[in-house]
Chains A and B, each alone.
Chain A
């Protein structure tokens, strides 16, 4: 099946630092989504990207949909302790076939922020 390679697997940073994580795929996606998940909770949608090259911000978060449609990155600026959690990228195809509408998730990036 489709695979998303998300990196890094984990990050340990100081409060105030910027963070960058990315996802790459061997397949093309029509939509890229970024989620954050706190322990014991469901994933929360941070940013949705719909067009190749699109750059979207949500507060301190910025994400881009790669030109090739096979990659995306998420940046967090000036990290704070509440940014701690697991960040997942997810790609979605909008064409037919058995993968239609399915989300393919990356393995996640565990972010730890030291005060």
Chain B
């Protein structure tokens, strides 16, 4: 089983809204990631969690707030986003931080 599950699949939110993206894996992976992807571009790393601790923050604006409640769950809290934040948000996990990553199907976010 190499499944990473993301919810919701689609999300439309206003610039004053607060919403959260969720990611779940049951593979026992200890590293989890958030990526942002624009159309026809490669994924861009946002955050890395290793053993439930934030390991890497790629200078992401504070309107994106990650949370790792336990080893199976990863959330991305969104607040006061801008239209240019519209993108496909991908969650990934790997056994450890230096092993191959498996991606979820993504959340298509539209900010209006």
A interface residues (Cβ-Cβ under 8 A, vs B): 30-31, 33, 35, 40-45, 48, 86, 88, 92, 94, 100-103, 105-108, 110
Contact = CB atoms under 8 A, between A and B. Distances in A.
29 contacts: A31-B98, A35-B103, A40-B88, A42-B6, A42-B90, A42-B103, A42-B105, A43-B90, A43-B103, A45-B2, A45-B100, A45-B101, A48-B100, A88-B43, A100-B98, A101-B31, A101-B48, A101-B50, A101-B55, A101-B97, A101-B98, A102-B45, A102-B56, A103-B43, A103-B45, A103-B101, A105-B42, A106-B42, A108-B41
Given A40-B108, A101-B31, A103-B45, A45 B102 contact: yes
B40 A108 contact: yes
A41 B100 contact: no
Residue of A31, A43, A94 most packed against chain B (CB within 10 A):
A43
On chain B, which size bracket covers the interface? 20 to 34
